[in-house]
Structure 1
Amino acid sequence: MASRSTLRFSELLLFCFLATLPTSAVGAGQTSSQLSHTERLYQEGMSLVEQRKLDEALQAFNRGLESDPSNRVLLNAIGATYTLKGDAEKAQDCFQKVLKIDPEFLPARKNLAMTYFNSGKYDLAGQEFDELASNPDAGPLAHLFLGMIAEKRKQYEAAVAQFKQAGNLVFQSGEAILSFARSLYERRQHEKSELILQRLAGVAGLSAVDYYEAGLLYSKCGRNDQALEALTKAREMNAELPGLEYQRALILDKMGRAAEALKILQGVMVQKPDRDSLQLLGEIAGRDGKLEAAAEAFRKVIEIEPDHEEAYLSLSTLLMDNENDPLGLTVVETGLAHLPQSYRLQVQKGAILEDLGRHQEAREIFRSAIRRQADHRDALIGLAVSQVYGGEIPESVETLASGVKQFPNDYYVHYFYGLALRKLAGLPRMDAKAVERKAAQALERSIHLNPAFADAYFLLGKFYVDNNPELAAKNFQTALRLNPRHDAAKYQLGRLYVGLGKREEGQKLLSQVNEQRAEMERRPKIILMGQ
């Protein structure tokens, strides 16, 4: 079966030799008897092409060549017909024969260039279109294809320039509109990208792939309603399009319609499970409290693709979050058996060992992970936290001081540096006020780098509980605004309100904390099949 682009550009090729060549061109240089015979066979072949009887059309064109083997119009028609059949090599051979006979024969050069493009031979296509670009009759078409070639090469600025030179011709092709819109998006011209996308409404004969690509781009632009509408149209045309159901579910989840997303993904899991759909199913089910479904989805991913790192991480995290660290450790170790060089799985193993109280082993794992790659901030933080829990607070501060120098713009490193310094301030023979000032500076730097990080506000608030309750309350309130389920901030603010005489408000917050803790205790544990 021909690809989407082959069919699209084959129609352009057919247009080239149907509409641009007068009948008189067929018999140029022939005797009157030859002319009658050749013209009749050419017209017969054209009629057969219009009926999509391509093999019979080729027979008619070839009979015409018997009396005139060098007829450039017939050779061009044969090449275009081979393109419609999806035989690019034979098509290219015909067009090249025409250009050897007459290098100025414009329809054959256009067709050769487009056939190269359809075959993914962008270097050769580009050479032909560059030559055509200076021709007034072929310039817009050449710029159109040069724009698409530049976009495929991720040369987005050049692509936009070429599309602008193509003029209104861009808006006659769905693929060209999508290519132009993608180029604008990558140039961070998102509003213009959306405006170009809207021009798809004026193009007839869009394919399922066109609508699918439009849906992806609308989603990138944050236009989820339009994205879902485009993907729905794609599904109406071809429900078997690879990745379509995954993208529909992904967008529905973004729109807060998780139940609909789950229904789609569960259908995929039964009919034709794929890695990405199962991974998304596990993530949504986990968030929705459907722990067994989430665990089963991640297990299926591992079964389908044992080298997929993300599935081991997701499943082990789900187990850790539900207090099943031993099984989480087994999952990670299975992953490391398949992916022994995985930095992320190594860090995850260290985190689980730390949760299990195996501090020394955890630190060894974190140090090993640090040596694996230059960007090792997660392993460094893991090591520092393990040192804190293991009572090695000065060593933890030293580890994080090194981290702050290596990763000066990482808010999380600064946050843990502030946390470790706060612990250090409580040790004997320390200048507590000086260390606390340094800790507060680290937390303020963390907030500066990420103003939406609730934990930093919470910890900063704890510094001010005794000497500046109003400022402490302000920080706790900010933490709760950013994360309404921040139990620790809610608890501290509740206690602070009670101490400040706001007893009713304080008791309300403390009651909410107790309810949330009770809810956590009622959450079911994961029991995997076969365990």
Structure 2
Amino acid sequence: MPDVVLKFLPLGAFCSYLPMKRRRRICDSLGVPISSLAAVVLIAGVSRAAGKPRTGTADQCAECYLAHQGFDRDVSSSRQFLQRSPTAPRALKMLGVALAGARRLEGQNRKFEHSLKLSPRFYLSLSDLAVSEFHRKGEAGTKNDFKQGLKHPPSDPPPNLFLVERYFGEKQFAMALRPYDQAGTRSRGNPRAILREARAALKEGNQKKAVSILALLAPADGSSHFAAGAMLAEAKAYAAAAREFGLARQTYKDPYAAGYNQTLAYVNAGNYSAAIGTANELLNQGHQTAELASVAATAYLKNGQPREAYNALRLATHLDPKNEDGYVDLCEISLDYDNYDLGLEIADLGLSHLPNSERLYLQRGVMRAMKGQFPDAEKDFAKASELAPNEVLPDISLGLLAMQTGRLEKAVEILRRGATRHPDNYLAQYWFAQVLLHSGAPPRTRDGDEVLAALRTSVRLNPDFWHARAELGKVLLERDEVDSAITQLEKAAALNPSASSPLYLLARAYRRKGDDARAHDLVARVSKMQTEERDALSRATLKHIVRDGTAGGPPELRRP
């Protein structure tokens, strides 16, 4: 029989050598599920030949008995051999393992500690003690034991894996990488360890290292490459994610899911031509799905190919006639190119399949408003409000339409109602303030105070909405609150450096403060711009507001 050797193995690998009954007993003794790859156990190498263990030293015999007999007999046998070699660290260590198998963890630990007294650098007992303490006491007081075990030698996987679990639990991701580097657990034979190490690198913000770690995955391991792609996409490393999904397509159980994710990752990475190519490959392979056609349309649009985008969206709506996003996206293309007749046709087609879609009623209302069909547009907006009374856009759209047609009192009524219904919506507050300003609300009056309150609320709800900050600065300036006005106008200008209106108002504010030099510089900047109003909400405000508000959320990755 070959010599018996001791070696650490992940519990899952160890169990593959033993009958199921023995696997369960070992896992139960450690208090871990049999499938856990983080748990470890110290085992003796077992001779492939049948028969009784050969004669040998006390610690070798203890190892063989542990491998061949039940744990209860192991305890008795190990004690007998220990009497013959009371100072053998390995014999003490084997008795500790036998006690663990017999669920006597405290006794096990005493034997490990005794072994360490005899040989302080006997790292096998250090590692066993740390693992045992981890299961007995949980998170408390085991990290130092692991650190000691790691010193002799650094290539021992089990304590490293346990220490990594500890560092991950404490969100110390840089520290979690060290045991992997020390133990050499990065290997093509351990994809879970590779994925875990790559995740630690991503948590540390080191995408380059994560990608280099993931390069160790076996090319044919489709499942691991798919998981790697999802991990990288979550970290917004989209180009690398696309590569991983591309590798996964070769062997993954669902090549369409991998290909769809690859297409989406390419879009997010800005590689639109690659996204188009991948989508067409999948479509030509028979994967005719509305979601894939919609992503392809997005890639075409961003690649400056609106006609191809339109065709892809028509395919999406053909494949899934109830695909609301497809109709809305088609309407948006029509709005972008001012093709309102085509937009009306698409909205009508969508409503024939989705008669209760408030988003499509809003889109059709905008088309009609752009064509000057205001009564019909108002009916569509009112229908959208009826279908979705909790949505803010129908109220805003009705209010803007009333403003555009000169019915300010009606607009005030509608937008006041919208602001009351939606106190936490920055657009509702902003447009309520706007309609009051259009109706001539003077500063320091009831209406003027409502304007100030609504604009402050809009800024609080969305600090990055520069229009609200610019209007708030203007109102504060009219109230002679110059310093506060400058604060808001400076922030508005920073949010949109190409906007001229905040700069013009800032020039007025600095001149009022007596800073003529600063005011002169700002006026000079404004004069260099092509047109002062190019940054303001355009005449087609209604079109842009509804387009942005009815857009669907970004597509999501497919999961395993």
**In the alignment, which of 373, 377, 385 is matched to residue 400 of structure 2?**
385
- Pick closer, same or farther for the CA change 1:398–1:432 going to 2, 3 Å: farther
Q: Give 1 or 2 for the bigger CA radius of gyration.
A: 2
Mapped partners of 2:298, 2:440: distance in 1: 40
Q: Is the 8 A contact 1:174 1:206 kept in 2?
A: no
Structure in which a larger fraction of residues adopt helix: 1
Mapped partners of 1:343, 1:361: distance in 2: 15
Instruction: Kindly indicate whether residue 26 of structure 2 is the aligned counterpart of residue 106 of structure 1.
Output: no
* Map of 2:463 onto structure 1: 451
- Pick closer, same or farther for the CA change 1:215–1:346 going to 2, 3 Å: same
Task: Give the match's secondary structure for 2:367.
Answer: helix
Task: Give the match's secondary structure for 1:417.
Answer: helix
Q: Is the 8 A contact 1:249 1:261 kept in 2?
A: yes
**In the alignment, which of 510, 514, 519 is matched to residue 530 of structure 2?**
510
- Give a deviation string over 1:159-185, Cα, whole Å, max 9, x none: xx9xx9999599987579979999x9x
Instruction: Kindly indicate whether residue 360 of structure 2 is the aligned counterpart of residue 345 of structure 1.
Output: yes
- Pick closer, same or farther for the CA change 1:191–1:141 going to 2, 3 Å: farther
Q: Paired residues, what number?
A: 374
Question: What is the RMSD computed on CA atoms of the aligned residues?
Answer: 4.8
Q: Is the 8 A contact 1:347 1:366 kept in 2?
A: yes
* Map of 1:141 onto structure 2: 34
Mapped partners of 1:473, 1:331: distance in 2: 46
- Pick closer, same or farther for the CA change 1:138–1:301 going to 2, 3 Å: same
Residue type at the aligned position of 1:506: V
* Map of 1:289 onto structure 2: 304
**In the alignment, which of 205, 209, 213 is matched to residue 223 of structure 2?**
209
Q: Which moved more, 1:401-410 or 1:296-305?
A: 401-410
Mapped partners of 2:251, 2:415: distance in 1: 56
Residue type at the aligned position of 2:346: V
Q: Is the 8 A contact 1:491 1:509 kept in 2?
A: no
Instruction: Kindly indicate whether residue 500 of structure 2 is the aligned counterpart of residue 490 of structure 1.
Output: yes
* Map of 1:460 onto structure 2: 472
Mapped partners of 2:314, 2:366: distance in 1: 21
Deviation at 1:292, TM superposition (A): 1.2
* Map of 2:272 onto structure 1: 258
Deviation at 1:197, TM superposition (A): 11
Specify which structure has the bigger relative contact order, considering alpha-carbon pairs within 8 angstroms and separated by 6 or more residues.
2
Mapped partners of 2:242, 2:396: distance in 1: 40
- Give a deviation string over 1:407-460, Cα, whole Å, max 9, x none: 22211211111222211226xxx7885434422321221111111112323433
* Map of 2:447 onto structure 1: 435
- Calculate the TM-score normalised by the size of structure 2: 0.54
For residues 148-187 of structure 1, what are the structure 2 equivalents within 5 Å?
A: 168=161
Mapped partners of 1:383, 1:332: distance in 2: 19
**In the alignment, which of 238, 244, 249 is matched to residue 224 of structure 1?**
238
* Map of 1:371 onto structure 2: 386
Instruction: Kindly indicate whether residue 374 of structure 2 is the aligned counterpart of residue 359 of structure 1.
Output: yes
Which segments of 5 or more consecutive residues in structure 2 lack a partner in the other structure?
1-10, 39-134, 140-157, 166-184, 512-518, 541-560
Deviation at 1:354, TM superposition (A): 2.4
Deviation at 1:374, TM superposition (A): 4.7
* Map of 1:242 onto structure 2: 256
- Pick closer, same or farther for the CA change 1:203–1:213 going to 2, 3 Å: closer
Q: Which moved more, 1:470-479 or 1:382-391?
A: 470-479
Residue type at the aligned position of 2:21: L
- Pick closer, same or farther for the CA change 1:479–1:295 going to 2, 3 Å: farther
Deviation at 1:15, TM superposition (A): 8.8
- Give a deviation string over 1:172-225, Cα, whole Å, max 9, x none: 87579979999x9xxxx9669x99999877776873133113212321233335
Mapped partners of 1:418, 1:343: distance in 2: 25
Q: Is the 8 A contact 2:301 2:309 kept in 1?
A: yes
Which segments of 5 or more consecutive residues in structure 1 lack a partner in the other structure?
1-11, 22-104, 111-131, 146-160, 521-531
- Calculate the TM-score normalised by the size of structure 1: 0.57
**In the alignment, which of 17, 20, 31 is matched to residue 18 of structure 2?**
20
Q: Is the 8 A contact 2:229 2:243 kept in 1?
A: yes
Mapped partners of 1:176, 1:338: distance in 2: 50
**In the alignment, which of 305, 308, 312 is matched to residue 327 of structure 2?**
312
Task: Give the match's secondary structure for 2:233.
Answer: helix
- Pick closer, same or farther for the CA change 1:393–1:513 going to 2, 3 Å: closer
For residues 190-201 of structure 1, what are the structure 2 equivalents within 5 Å?
A: none
**In the alignment, which of 407, 415, 420 is matched to residue 405 of structure 1?**
420
Q: Is the 8 A contact 1:387 1:396 kept in 2?
A: yes
* Map of 1:50 onto structure 2: none
Task: Give the match's secondary structure for 2:356.
Answer: coil
Mapped partners of 2:239, 2:274: distance in 1: 14
Residue type at the aligned position of 2:333: L
Deviation at 1:139, TM superposition (A): 3.1
- Pick closer, same or farther for the CA change 1:436–1:318 going to 2, 3 Å: farther
- Give a deviation string over 1:483-528, Cα, whole Å, max 9, x none: 456xxx3367469869954454223222698899xxx9xxxxxxxx
Mapped partners of 2:331, 2:35: distance in 1: 53
Mapped partners of 1:305, 1:246: distance in 2: 17
